[in-house]
A and B are shown apart, each in its own frame.
Chain A
Amino acid sequence: MRMGQRDASQWLVSVAAYLYIGGFALLCLIPFWLVYIGSFTAEHQIVRGFRMFPTEFSLDSYRFLFKGNQVYRSGLVSIFITLVGTTGAVLMTSMFSYVVSHQKVKYRNVLSFYIYLTMLFTPGLVGYYLLISNWLDLRDSLLALILPLLFTPFNAFLMTSYFRTLPFELNEAATMDGAHELYIFFRIIWPVSMPIIATITLFYALSYWNDWFNALMFIDNPENHPLQMMLRRVVSNAQNLDYLNANVNIPVTASGVQLSTVCVTIGPIIFLYPFLQRYFVKGLTIGAVKG
């Protein structure tokens, strides 16, 4: 009797769980599916709006996009700022977090308070704008896309809590052997910190890849527009299609081009996602729970 009851409540909760999770997952997936399908839908069909399943496939909006120059320029800009920015950001953040987590460093709490303070009292948009555009004079420079995202306090705190979970003996043994601090960090600490380094790399790479705000504020020259800014232009003004491709000879709709542009910008994320997921769930979990 008791056995049967337990099974029934277990079963009920399971059904609810599958329905809720399945439903939410579907809700998350549908917009992606519509965008993906829409980007392959023929021009005369898309005018009549989105469909779950197209009846006629067409590559015209991709042909239009890839025959123009802008997608290559913007793609290069995005790839360049993501590679350079992420490398610099991960190096800076990991070194700093390691020092803050290091037991031998007497002023480690001063260092971390120095960072906290900027979260307590924020500099504000006006100062930020003046800094990039007037004081550093980075208007229309790729540095205006790279420098602002080089450091995020949250990532540093996550890394610090991960490094604190590493046994200090690891460090002591190497110091006894007379190893240089830089050697200890890059040769001993890095290899055992891969989950958190992969996680932080992913976070920074995404913040670079997805950034449009800095481009909107500081980049006027279309040659230096990253992909997200290109997308914004195409979405905010349908007349902007000749910005993508000056000699229009393929019949396309603004909406079709917008959708194929979206697919180009999220393609790399979807492609790399399965490889990275197991790392970031682990990295985020260890950092957050032990922190």
Chain B
Amino acid sequence: MNFLRELRKNKWLYAMALPVLVYVLIFSYLPMSAHVLAFKQFRPIDGLWGSKWVGLDNLKFFFTGPDWLRVTINTIYLNFLFITAGTITALLIALMLNEIRQALFKRISQSIVILPHFISIMVVNLMVLNFFNGQDGMINRVLENAGLQTVDWFQTPSVWPFLLTFIFVWKGAGWNSIIYLATITGFSEEYYESARMDGAKRWQQIWYITLPLLRPTIIVLTLLALGRIFYGDFGLIYGIIGDNSLLFDTTDVIDTYIYRSLRSAGMNSYSNAAAVGLFQSIMGLITILFFNWIVRRVDNDSSLF
């Protein structure tokens, strides 16, 4: 047997991979079995396999209810805002950092714009509270001092898609610019040299040389992000919105909805959550396959598989 001979020949190498293989089996493959709960009425005493089959009842419950369209649209819409604003800001940071010649300023400012990536959502949450909370939040006091109308942010759903996008960009754009900046640094100096010879202005060099060269990177990173458009940013959204139902209209995404269904005291909470989870996993699979197929057509080396 070839298979056994290969295993024996490199037994130490395969042994080194074993911890991860076992780990992923237990922590990723085993929990997949819980997707069957989407078709069952789960009772903890009966267990996963002993529980009663109920066919499509749980899925029907989700899709005939008022929530499914809202959470699906919110998930896609928020991700769309995050990807667009995040990509543009990260790109600008990389392009502008690349123009800065003063080494110390460059290094320190790069460190600072990356820093928010490293703090937990709980810390961000406290900052957001201090800025936007009720009457004594910083923003409202500034508005008040300027003689403007204050806003009760935590009771105004319509502002949150933009606030969340702002927070997302604040936290992640500096970090995401690293990859763009690294790619730019790799571009040959020759292009710029000859452009300068032809009298190209600095901004023309950015527009006609740097950006076109960056295009494959931008496209690939965006497509990979689009592949995950059915997965909401649970940490960010739940960490900041929490269980504030006043804001659910614009901020409730599939992931927070599943979490709440699971934690709800309802009889059928596990099965309802599992039905939504199955919907998300299937849609996630389809979108990832679809966008990866596009990535492969754009740039074969960058596709996931």
Instruction: Answer whether residue B143 sits at the interface, using C-beta atoms and an 8 A cutoff.
Output: no
B126–A262 CB distance below 8 A: yes
B27–A148 CB distance below 8 A: yes
Instruction: Answer whether residue A142 sits at the interface, using C-beta atoms and an 8 A cutoff.
Output: no
Residues of B290-304 contacting chain A, CB below 8 A:
304
Q: Which residues of B have CB within 8 Å of A18?
A: 100, 105
Pick from B31, B100, B182: contact of A128, CB under 8 Å: B31
State whether A13 and B206 are in contact (beta carbons under 8 Å apart), knowing that A21-B97, A151-B20, A284-B179 are contacts in the complex: yes
Q: Which residues of A have CB within 8 Å of B93?
A: 20-21, 24
Determine the distance from Cα of A31 to Cα of B30 in the docked complex, in whole angstroms.
42
B20–A105 CB distance below 8 A: no
Question: Which range contains the number of B residues in contact with the other chain?
Answer: 35 or more
| Chain B positions 1 through 15: 1 when the CB is less than 8 Å from some CB of chain A, otherwise 0 | 000001000101110
A235–B178 CB distance below 8 A: no
Q: Which residues of A have CB within 8 Å of B60?
A: none
Pick from A135, A156, A185: contact of B16, CB under 8 Å: A185
Stretch at the interface among B72-80, B148-156, B245-253, B275-283: B275-283
Instruction: Answer whether residue B163 sits at the interface, using C-beta atoms and an 8 A cutoff.
Output: no
The distance from the CB of A201 to the nearest CB of chain B, in whole angstroms, is: 14
State whether A262 and B123 are in contact (beta carbons under 8 Å apart), knowing that A123-B34, A126-B34 are contacts in the complex: yes
B113–A28 CB distance below 8 A: yes
Instruction: Answer whether residue A129 sits at the interface, using C-beta atoms and an 8 A cutoff.
Output: yes
Determine the distance from Cα of A10 to Cα of B119 in the docked complex, in whole angstroms.
36
Residues of B13-56 contacting chain A, CB below 8 A:
13-14, 16-17, 19-21, 23-24, 26-35, 37, 44, 48
A122–B281 CB distance below 8 A: yes
Instruction: Answer whether residue A145 sits at the interface, using C-beta atoms and an 8 A cutoff.
Output: no
Q: Which residues of A have CB within 8 Å of B215?
A: none
The distance from the CB of B238 to the nearest CB of chain A, in whole angstroms, is: 8
Residues of A227-242 contacting chain B, CB below 8 A:
228, 231-232, 235-236
A228–B122 CB distance below 8 A: yes
The distance from the CB of B42 to the nearest CB of chain A, in whole angstroms, is: 9
Determine the distance from Cα of A211 to Cα of B6 in the docked complex, in whole angstroms.
40
The distance from the CB of A163 to the nearest CB of chain B, in whole angstroms, is: 12
B28–A38 CB distance below 8 A: no
State whether A124 and B114 are in contact (beta carbons under 8 Å apart), knowing that A17-B96, A100-B17 are contacts in the complex: no
State whether A16 and B30 are in contact (beta carbons under 8 Å apart), knowing that A29-B112, A122-B281 are contacts in the complex: no
A28–B170 CB distance below 8 A: yes
Instruction: Answer whether residue A193 sits at the interface, using C-beta atoms and an 8 A cutoff.
Output: no
Instruction: Answer whether residue B285 sits at the interface, using C-beta atoms and an 8 A cutoff.
Output: yes
B280–A269 CB distance below 8 A: no
B100–A14 CB distance below 8 A: yes
Determine the distance from Cα of A148 to Cα of B161 in the docked complex, in whole angstroms.
30
Pick from A28, A106, A156, A213: contact of B116, CB under 8 Å: A28
State whether A118 and B99 are in contact (beta carbons under 8 Å apart), knowing that A12-B202, A32-B115, A134-B44 are contacts in the complex: no
Q: Which residues of A have CB within 8 Å of B115?
A: 28-29, 32, 270, 273
Instruction: Answer whether residue A66 sits at the interface, using C-beta atoms and an 8 A cutoff.
Output: no
B32–A34 CB distance below 8 A: no
Instruction: Answer whether residue B111 sits at the interface, using C-beta atoms and an 8 A cutoff.
Output: yes
Determine the distance from Cα of A283 to Cα of B20 in the docked complex, in whole angstroms.
22
State whether A122 and B262 are in contact (beta carbons under 8 Å apart), knowing that A99-B14, A262-B123 are contacts in the complex: no
Stretch at the interface among A55-63, A69-77, A90-98, A243-251: A90-98
Residues of A24-48 contacting chain B, CB below 8 A:
24-25, 27-29, 31-32, 34-35, 38, 48
Q: Please, which residue of chain A has its CB at the minimum distance from the CB of B114? A: A277
Interface centre among B97, B105, B118, B206 (most CB of A within 10 A): B118
Q: Which residues of B have CB within 8 Å of A124?
A: 31-32, 34-35, 258, 274, 277-278, 280-281
Q: Which residues of A have CB within 8 Å of B37?
A: 126
Q: Please, which residue of chain B has its CB at the minimum distance from the CB of A156? A: B20
Instruction: Answer whether residue A115 sits at the interface, using C-beta atoms and an 8 A cutoff.
Output: yes
A123–B32 CB distance below 8 A: yes
Pick from B10, B136, B196, B262: contact of A6, CB under 8 Å: B196
B99–A6 CB distance below 8 A: no
The distance from the CB of A218 to the nearest CB of chain B, in whole angstroms, is: 12
State whether A6 and B126 are in contact (beta carbons under 8 Å apart), knowing that A116-B305, A151-B27 are contacts in the complex: no
Instruction: Answer whether residue B138 sits at the interface, using C-beta atoms and an 8 A cutoff.
Output: yes
Q: Can you pick out 30 interface pairs between chain A and chain B where the beta carbons lie within 8 Å of each other?
A: A5-B199, A6-B202, A13-B99, A13-B202, A14-B99, A18-B105, A21-B96, A24-B113, A24-B173, A34-B130, A35-B126, A92-B19, A96-B19, A107-B6, A118-B29, A122-B280, A122-B281, A124-B32, A125-B277, A127-B274, A185-B16, A210-B118, A212-B122, A212-B239, A213-B235, A228-B120, A236-B242, A265-B122, A266-B123, A273-B115
For the A-B complex with A12-B202, A34-B130, A111-B21 known, give 5 more contacts whose Cβ atoms are closer than 8 Å: A9-B203, A24-B93, A32-B115, A98-B16, A131-B34
- B residues near A (Cβ < 8 Å) are 6, 10, 12-14, 16-17, 19-21, 23-24, 26-35, 37, 44, 48, 89, 92-93, 96-97, 99-101, 105, 108-116, 118-123, 125-127, 129-131, 136-138, 141, 170, 173-174, 178-179, 182-183, 186, 196, 199, 201-204, 206, 231, 234-235, 239, 242, 255, 258-259, 262, 270, 273-274, 277-278, 280-281, 284-285, 288-289, 304-305
Q: Closest 7 A-B residue pairs measured CB to CB?
A: A127-B31, A127-B34, A124-B277, A9-B201, A210-B120, A123-B31, A17-B99
